[in-house]
Amino acid sequence: MCVFCKIISGEIPSKKAYEDDSVLAIYDINPQAPVHIVFMPKQHILTSADGINEENCEIIGKIFVAIAKVAKELGLKDGYRIINNCGAAAGQTVAHIHFHLLAGKDGMSEHMI
């Protein structure tokens, strides 16, 4: 089981920022910005390039709805970044599709993630 599936199952503890039937968001263990939350589907999907298809693509919209909800709750009025690293060469270290929400002063810098 991948590290995010272990977090989803509760085998590895995490600080949750959001959860519903199909989406989980956790505070990143190694934050790169004052606000750094990782959103993932509960279903194990590898990457944006390998695993997303016509049948399961609705989950991406659900993740973006969840991001907007959390951003509103946290009062991120000055904007934020949503980052998806697709593939190891692009910096994806966990092979379970996820989207980083980054915000705060450092979250707006050019070099991150």
- Interface residue with ligand 5GP among 8, 28, 33, 101 (CB under 6 A) is 28
5 binds, among ligand 5GP, Zn ion, none (CB under 5 to 8 A by kind): Zn ion
Contact 103, 35 (CB under 8 A): yes
Q: How far is the CB of 13 from Zn ion (least distance, A)?
A: 16
Torsion, Cα of 59, 64, 70, 76 (10° steps): 170
Q: Judged by CB, which is closer to Zn ion: 11, or 78?
A: 11
Cα distances (angstroms) measured from residue 45 to each of 12, 48, 81: 19, 8, 22
* Cβ 71 to ligand 5GP shortest distance, Å: 18
Per CB under 6 A, residues contacting ligand 5GP are: 3, 12, 14, 26-30, 38, 85, 91-94
